[in-house]
Chains A and B, each alone.
Chain A
Amino acid sequence: MIKVGLFIPCYIDQLYPQVGMATLKVLERFNVEVDYPLDQTCCGQPMANAGCAADAAPLAEKFYRIFKDYPYVVCPSGSCTSMVRNHYDDYLKGKPGLEELKKKTFELCEFLTDVLKLEKIEGRFPYRVGLHQSCHGLRELRLAKSSERMGNPFSKVSPLLESLEGITLVKLSRPDECCGFGGTFAVGEEAVSCMMGKDRIADHEQSGTEVLTGVDMSCLMHLDGLIRRAGKPIRVMHIAEILAGD
């Protein structure tokens, strides 16, 4: 039985507990033994992205201490996973086991595809679904080919969704443009951030999205905030909630 340490990002823990539960369910459904170490808090990305390296470093160390001995670490967030994999060198360079920790830390869909080698998931989801390809998942983890790059298209996310019965993945006019969340950017550059978000939503509306989903709850939180303020009839769900089959 594969054993994983579950990393639930701080804002999912506090604001979207159901996403954490769904992640747990998805993993257990495929016979993964999941342990959630209770001392965890945050990967340090908010501080790191604000340039405050000194405040991010102790959090990277905390993460390292808690998770380094698990065979795998799984996290339902592309952006926090990327923090570990692509940015922890800045804080932990030379620590024993860091290289392995970076390699064994996975975003949920990536774990399902790359480690569990799942090609399809049983379940039914008879809705028109719009996939928000979050930037860090896309361009830092390479969960799919970004539209700027040439070469053969691939995705570690959409085949999982498409394997569900009754689902339709909508086609967007700009398949992978940023939603404008960007961490502190969402507040520091409020005007641009909201404009970007509204444009994303307009694209989904035009494509007939009923349920908007993605691997990053942070982007979805921003889009959901705009959708609810405007009273639009689009439901927002983290991909784990869909894959868990509730």
Chain B
Amino acid sequence: MDHSTRAAQFIRNEARVHWHDQALWYVRVKRDKMAQSVPEWENLREIAAQIKAHTMSRLPDYLEMFEENATRLGAKVHWAVDAREHNETVYQILKNHGVQRVVKSKSMLTEECHLNPFLEARGIEVVDTDLGERIVQLAQEPPSHIVLPAIHKKKEEIGELFHRYLHTEKGASDPTYLTESARGHLREKFLKADAGITGVNFAIAETGGLVICTNEGNADMGTSLPPLHIACMGFEKLIPRARDLGVFLRLLARSATGQPITTYSAHFHGPRPGGELHIVIVDNGRSQILQKPEFRRTLSCIRCGACMNTCPVYRRSGGHSYDSVVPGPIGSILSPAQDPQRYYSLPFASSLCGSCTDVCPVKIDLHHQLLAWRKELVLQGLIPFSKRLTMKVVGWVFQNTWAYEGTGRLVRWIVPKLPRSVLYNRWNVWGKQRELPPFPKESFREMYRKRKVQGSEARNRK
């Protein structure tokens, strides 16, 4: 199934689409206000983009530096080539420690690697501790947004879910009440956990430290009780120096949720006394993107989600329509890099309006990347033949002015003569909800020719 089919299903419920659109637009507006409060905003974006570009250009050096410094601080660094190796590595560490229960703090990477089912199949209980993540985990759904995983769920639906699993009162949908109940439930889980798994927002090469940003403090909770902390990160999370952090922390929260700063930015420099810190650094297709200069900028992404909030297509088609761990504009260029066959329709799920590009705090030229992906998919032969053929034919007509003029004249002559029932048939996708444009008698060039002749006649008469 492609994106347009899933989007059409989502759109069937118009009221819900409007609600979804408004909820995300609200975040976008908050972001605008917060960005406005920083006079040097555009400057910051530029610096952030350059830091990331620089890091990617010397990635092996920085990775080595990071490993060295992290190890010096007492952390243990593991490398994983793909999702499978990542999951195995995490499982082995857990097994070696005899871990039964894990609390996880939001990590899109473990989502990308499908770590939960992998561990669960091996008898380990995994609890997502971010409220939104917990909601979708209970609903047995994937997140629909990378920062607001349950943004597609109404509070009434969450109330029902909590009633079923957390035994809240039936029909209760008050967010404060529900959040409190979830907190109580999660506290239990935190207390009983043997290990905490977290994602990583920034890994600092110069110090070997990690920074994890959450709004609920769940990363801190998940790592301060259990003795074992496993941090999982894609290699693009690297930044060179501690002093670069300020640039990204200022951009991240403002872009993501319109907050001046994330509520909790937890810094980890080595394991806490008596504990263990393992860092798993994952490639999983990233080095392929790194090798392609035209797509490299994709790796600058700091996963703020702003491109989703602003994307008019995402807002109206919902995160699940992308059928991918990372949806929206950024997901539409990351996903085909991992599996072009499965995700061939995503780069076309965009009007190329460019709003994502202008909102992106690290200045990824998202809409140009989407276009570049379309080209790449055509080259790989992944676009339906009928579509290719249409473009070939139309292209040929445009190349030959006589054919273009002839076709134009013919169409403009025939269409107005056709009855509505013939014109608005089921193959006329344009006409399902829209009227066709007018089909005038004369084209511009015909009018122009006439005017020229009249003009010269008038001059001759003088």
Q: Which residues of A are at the interface with B, using a C-beta cutoff of 8 A?
A: 8, 10-21, 24, 36, 38-42, 44, 46-53, 55-56, 58-59, 62, 87, 135-136, 138-140, 146-151, 174, 177-178, 180-197, 199, 221-222, 224-226, 228-229
Contacts and interface: CB of A to CB of B under 8 A. Distances in A.
Interface string B144-162: 0000000000000000000
A195 B17 contact: yes
A174 B310 CA distance: 11
A190 B14 CA distance: 14
Contact of B401 (A38, A53, A140): A38
A39 B405 CA distance: 10
Q: From DSSP, what is the main secondary structure of chain B's interface residues?
A: helix
A55 B4 contact: no
Given A49-B352, A135-B355, A139-B358, A190 B433 contact: yes
A229 B7 contact: no
21 contacts: A15-B437, A21-B448, A38-B445, A41-B401, A42-B404, A46-B394, A51-B371, A58-B399, A135-B354, A136-B352, A150-B35, A177-B355, A182-B351, A182-B352, A190-B430, A191-B4, A191-B7, A192-B7, A192-B11, A194-B434, A199-B316
Contacts of B348: 184-185, 188-189
A19 B443 CA distance: 11
Nearest to A61: B399
Given A13-B444, A186-B430, A225-B430, A51 B378 contact: yes
A180 B313 CA distance: 8
A165 B246 CA distance: 50
Residue among B25, B392, B394, B432 having the largest count of chain A Cβ atoms under 10 Å? B394
B166 interface: no
B275 interface: no
Interface stretch (B196-204, B258-266, B383-391): B383-391
B25 to A, nearest CB: 7
B297 to A, nearest CB: 16
Contacts of A39: 401
A191 B9 CA distance: 9
Contact of A189 (B4, B375, B378): B4
Contacts of B412: 14
Contact of B350 (A47, A182, A197): A182
A194 B355 CA distance: 18
Nearest to B43: A150
B429 interface: yes
Interface in B353-379: 353-355, 357-359, 367, 371, 373-378
Contact of B395 (A38, A55, A135): A55
Contacts of A17: 440, 442-444, 446-447
B317 interface: yes
Contacts of B443: 13-14, 17
Contacts of B109: none
A185 B401 contact: no
B395 A136 contact: no
